[in-house]
């Protein structure tokens, strides 16, 4: 059981580390969007995708491990009380606290980045409108597959 | 051929250019006025179709000049919404930081002569009670004085946390009063704007004032601002401002709280508790500081039936500075019975931690001076409790811990040996006292089986500072993100509604040229008319 909890704590710490990197990437997105640096923004988007996929795979690992430990569907805040000894309990509690704090930071940065991108896109749409291009029409064209895939 | 109607076309052009120049002048003169929104003249082509026998039957009509439709403010509601959203986060994290800074000033004793240093001092005094000194009044007094100082430091820390809590409570009350004052002012402005709308006045200055107040309100509480319309008794359609507070509770019947609905407004209050009346009637009300939004009232303060709001019960999401202040006043962290709110650590968390530290320390010291390692009562001379409460209450806390009267009077002293009748130099019990400073203690939370910390006593105090540091760092990073985002959106917003001297300069030249051209047109028409009247057929 102690070994399982050690693995669980490692996953939580990995989560924290990836989420920290994701928060940094969100800040880079804000700075790229502010300086109209499309290349940097595209790089950040790629990084963001990689981190999101890493988180998804880690989440699968966590769910699987919790299932094996017999704590399926238990909340993270409930896990420390299930630890086999006090030391593990404190270690897990501290890891969970760090993760929660980092998640809050990431969520703030992510919403700020989203706002910044939305503002930028809106500006683009307004400019398109001024030069007589209907943004909705462009969207239709994208759906029809008439444009090259940006991410390809 | 020039007709008198053509003079009207030019005249309207001159008037419009003159008015546009006046507006440019107004914009420039208000470049530094707080909250001023750049204005522009709304114009459209003036066309009229006459009827009857004077109606023009020709296919070509030049029009009838330019019509001034009104003056509008250049604002972008999208940016306003985004800005206010971020400002709610700025207000919330700023209030969190203020709370943490206040606590930090009290419990952070790194590099200072605080609690940690006093623990070391007491341990040092026990170290000096070596084989040659045990039993001497001089060294017992040294330990006693050091222990008394430790108690005083704990008392002081507790008292400072309590004063900080009281000060924060006062500040919370003031902030709620500020919010209510803002709501009242917006209500009054809405009423004045409505009256102006009815009389056809655009009341732009009032709208500027209102926007500044809405921006201010967004720091205190999360708001949604909507502009709708209402029909007056006289049938005129006028604008109506509605401000709501999103209700994050789940369920089908859940509705947002209405803070302002046109000239009607609700007031925010918090539960500051009440003492029980005589015989317990009415019963005492607990101080929960929970926020609640009252019934919507008209501008005279009369409640409007069917427009009740209610308490803000769901503590998820950020509600601006008021919610954060409440967190500082009530946050019990791991000591909270409610697992959903155990994440928030405010002043009560640190008060409780300090109490736990004082109690654990006192219990351990008393146990060594009253029991042998097996838990049997000591029968040696001077055995007894070293620490007690100074107010006679049953439980030792940081605020009431003191050395016991018996130790102060000399009836009890540090028991140097648990063996009755052993020589005056026996010091086997002294090492048990010293062990207290080096052994691990477990500090638990409210949830069953939960542990907050395991380690040395002074380590627990260091852990409190570490927890505060982590919370502070988190709030600080969140604040930085919110503030820079709000700043950036504000710059974009400023680019829309702020006065830009370059743009105004270009406008000035354009309107000046338009005015001169209209004048020139008038002169041309005059010369055409002169041709027709004085020189035709001569």
Q: Please, what is the Cα angle at B269 between B264 and B274, to 5 degrees?
A: 140
Report DSSP state, residue A148. Answer: -
Helix (H, G, I), strand (E, B) or coil at A60: helix
Name every residue whose Cβ is closer than 8 Å to that of residue A109 and which is 6 or more positions away in sequence.
A23, A26, A27, A30, B481
B367-390 confidence digits (pLDDT tens)? 999 999 998 988 888 889 999 999
Helix (H, G, I), strand (E, B) or coil at B380: coil
Higher pLDDT, A73 or B460: B460
* Average pLDDT taken over every residue of chain B: 87
The strand pair at B310-311 and B291-293 is best described as antiparallel
Is A30 in contact with B484 (Cβ distance < 8 A)?
yes
Q: For chain B, give the percent of residues with pLDDT over 70.
A: 91
| B435 φ/ψ angles, rounded to the nearest 5 degrees | -60, -30
Is B449 in contact with A119 (Cβ distance < 8 A)?
no
A104-122 confidence digits (pLDDT tens)? 999 999 988 998 888 888 8
Q: Please, what is the Cα angle at A56 between A54 and A61, to 5 degrees?
A: 95
Name every residue whose Cβ is closer than 8 Å to that of residue B450 and which is 6 or more positions away in sequence.
A80, A81, A89, A93, B334, B444
For residue B92, what is the nearest residue in chain A, using CA coordinates? A108
Q: Is the pLDDT of residue B120 over 70?
A: yes
Picking from B89, B477, B480 by the largest number of A CB atoms within 10 A of its own CB, the best residue to mutate is B477
**Which of A81, A115, A122 is closest, CB to CB, to B447?**
A81
Two tokens at B167? 């000060």
pTM above 0.90, yes or no: no
For residue B87, what is the nearest residue in chain A, using CA coordinates? A112
Cβ–Cβ under 8 Å, residues B73 and B36: no
Is A119 in contact with B447 (Cβ distance < 8 A)?
no
pLDDT, residue B59, reads 63
Cβ–Cβ under 8 Å, residues B122 and B150: yes
Residues of B in contact with A105 (CB under 8 A): 474, 477-478, 481
Pairs of CB atoms within 8 A across A/B: 69
Name every residue whose Cβ is closer than 8 Å to that of residue B303 and which is 6 or more positions away in sequence.
B295, B296, B297
Q: Is the pLDDT of residue B56 over 90?
A: no
Cβ–Cβ under 8 Å, residues B424 and B135: yes
Higher pLDDT, A100 or A131: A100
pLDDT, residue B309, reads 81
pLDDT, residue B52, reads 56
Residue A84's DSSP bridge partners are: none
**Which of B339, B473, B482 is closest, CB to CB, to A108?**
B482
Residue at token pair 């502070």: B472
Residues of B in contact with A115 (CB under 8 A): 82, 85-86, 485, 489
Cβ neighbours, 10 Å, residue B100: 21
Q: Is the pLDDT of residue A147 over 70?
A: no
Is A112 in contact with B474 (Cβ distance < 8 A)?
no
pLDDT, residue A148, reads 39
CA dihedral sign of residues A137, A140, A144, A150: positive
Is B478 in contact with A118 (Cβ distance < 8 A)?
no
Is A101 in contact with B450 (Cβ distance < 8 A)?
no
Is A89 in contact with B442 (Cβ distance < 8 A)?
no
For residue A96, what is the nearest residue in chain B, using CA coordinates? B343
Cβ–Cβ under 8 Å, residues A89 and A83: yes
Question: What value of ipTM does the predicted structure carry?
Answer: 0.83
B293-321 confidence digits (pLDDT tens)? 999 999 888 988 877 887 776 554 557 89
**Which one, of B432, B428, B407, lies nearest residue B419 by Cα?**
B428
Is B484 in contact with A112 (Cβ distance < 8 A)?
yes
**Which one, of B267, B266, B225, lies nearest residue B85 by Cα?**
B225
A78-104 confidence digits (pLDDT tens)? 888 888 898 999 999 999 999 999 999
Q: Cα-Cα-Cα-Cα dihedral of B414, B419, B421, B426, to 10°?
A: -60
Is B481 in contact with A112 (Cβ distance < 8 A)?
yes
Is B452 in contact with A93 (Cβ distance < 8 A)?
yes
How far B353 CA lies from chain A's nearest CA (Å)?
16
Is A30 in contact with B478 (Cβ distance < 8 A)?
no
Residues of B in contact with A80 (CB under 8 A): 450-451
The Cα B29–Cα B39 span in angstroms is: 12
Cβ–Cβ under 8 Å, residues A65 and A8: yes
Report DSSP state, residue B258. Answer: E
Phi-psi region of B229 (alpha: psi -120 to 50; beta: other; left: phi over 0): beta
How far A90 CA lies from chain B's nearest CA (Å)?
6
The strand pair at B237-245 and B257-261 is best described as antiparallel
């Amino acid at each position: 059981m102690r070994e399982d909890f050690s693995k669980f704590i490692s996953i939580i710490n990995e989560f924290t580390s990836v989420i920290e990197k994701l928060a940094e990437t969100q800040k880079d997105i804000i700075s790229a969007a502010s300086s109209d640096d499309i290349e940097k923004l595209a790089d950040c988007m790629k990084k963001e995708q990689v981190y999101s996929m890493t988180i998804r795979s880690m989440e699968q690992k966590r769910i699987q491990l919790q299932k094996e430990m017999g704590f399926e569907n238990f909340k993270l805040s409930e896990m420390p009380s299930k630890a086999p000894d006090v030391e593990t309990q404190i270690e897990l509690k501290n890891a969970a606290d760090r993760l929660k704090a980092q998640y809050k930071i990431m969520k703030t940065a992510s919403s700020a980045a989203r706002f910044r991108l939305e503002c930028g896109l809106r500006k683009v749409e307004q400019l398109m409108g001024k030069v007589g291009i209907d943004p909705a029409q462009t969207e239709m064209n994208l759906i029809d597959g008439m444009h090259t895939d940006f991410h390809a | 051929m020039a007709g008198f109607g053509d003079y009207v076309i030019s005249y309207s052009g001159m008037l419009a250019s003159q008015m546009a120049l006046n507006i440019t002048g107004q914009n420039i003169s208000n470049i530094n006025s707080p909250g001023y929104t750049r204005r522009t003249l709304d114009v459209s082509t003036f066309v009229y179709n006459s009827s009857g026998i004077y109606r023009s039957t020709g296919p070509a009509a030049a029009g009838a000049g330019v019509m001034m439709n009104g003056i509008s403010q250049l604002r972008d509601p999208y940016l306003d919404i985004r800005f206010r959203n971020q400002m709610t986060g700025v207000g919330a994290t700023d209030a969190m930081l203020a709370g943490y800074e206040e606590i930090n000033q009290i419990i952070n004793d790194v590099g200072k002569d605080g609690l940690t240093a006093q623990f070391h001092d007491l341990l040092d005094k026990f170290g000096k009670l070596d084989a040659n000194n045990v039993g001497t009044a001089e060294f017992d007094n040294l330990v006693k004085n050091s222990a008394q100082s430790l108690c005083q430091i704990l008392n002081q820390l507790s008292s400072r946390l309590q004063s900080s809590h009281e000060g924060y409570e006062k500040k919370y009350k003031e902030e709620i009063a500020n919010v209510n004052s803002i709501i009242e002012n917006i209500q009054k402005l809405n009423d004045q704007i409505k009256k102006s709308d009815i009389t056809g006045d655009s009341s732009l200055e009032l709208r500027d004032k209102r926007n500044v107040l809405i921006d201010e309100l967004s720091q205190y509480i999360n708001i949604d601002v909507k502009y709708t319309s209402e029909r007056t008794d006289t049938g005129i359609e006028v604008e109506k401002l509605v401000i709501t507070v999103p209700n994050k509770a789940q369920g089908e019947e859940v509705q947002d709280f209405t803070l302002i609905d046109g000239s009607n407004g609700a007031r925010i209050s918090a539960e500051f508790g009440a003492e029980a009346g005589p015989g317990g009637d009415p019963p005492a009300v607990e101080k929960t500081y929970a926020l609640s939004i009252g019934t919507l009232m008209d501008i005279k303060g009369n409640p409007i039936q069917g427009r009740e709001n209610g308490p803000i019960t769901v503590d998820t999401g950020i509600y601006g500075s008021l919610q954060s202040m409440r967190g500082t006043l009530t946050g019990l962290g791991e000591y909270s019975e409610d697992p959903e709110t155990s994440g928030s650590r405010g002043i009560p968390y640190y008060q409780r931690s300090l109490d736990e530290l004082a109690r654990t320390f006192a219990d351990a010291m008393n146990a060594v001076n009253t029991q042998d390692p097996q838990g049997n009562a000591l029968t040696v001379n001077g055995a007894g409790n070293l620490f007690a409460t100074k107010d006679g209450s049953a439980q030792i806390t940081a605020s009431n811990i003191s050395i016991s009267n018996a130790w102060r009077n000399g009836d009890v002293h540090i028991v140097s040996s648990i063996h009755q009748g052993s020589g005056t130099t026996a010091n086997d019990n002294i090492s048990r006292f010293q062990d207290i400073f080096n052994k691990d203690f477990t500090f638990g939370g409210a949830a069953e089986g939960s542990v907050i910390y395991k380690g040395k006593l002074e380590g627990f105090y260091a852990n409190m500072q570490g927890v505060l540091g982590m919370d502070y760092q988190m709030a600080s990073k969140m604040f930085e993100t919110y503030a820079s985002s709000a700043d950036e959106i504000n710059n974009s917003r400023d680019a829309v509604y702020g006065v830009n001297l370059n743009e105004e300069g270009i406008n000035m030249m354009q309107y000046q040229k338009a005015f001169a051209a209209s004048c020139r047109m008038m002169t041309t028409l005059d010369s055409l008319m002169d041709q027709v009247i004085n020189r035709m057929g001569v």
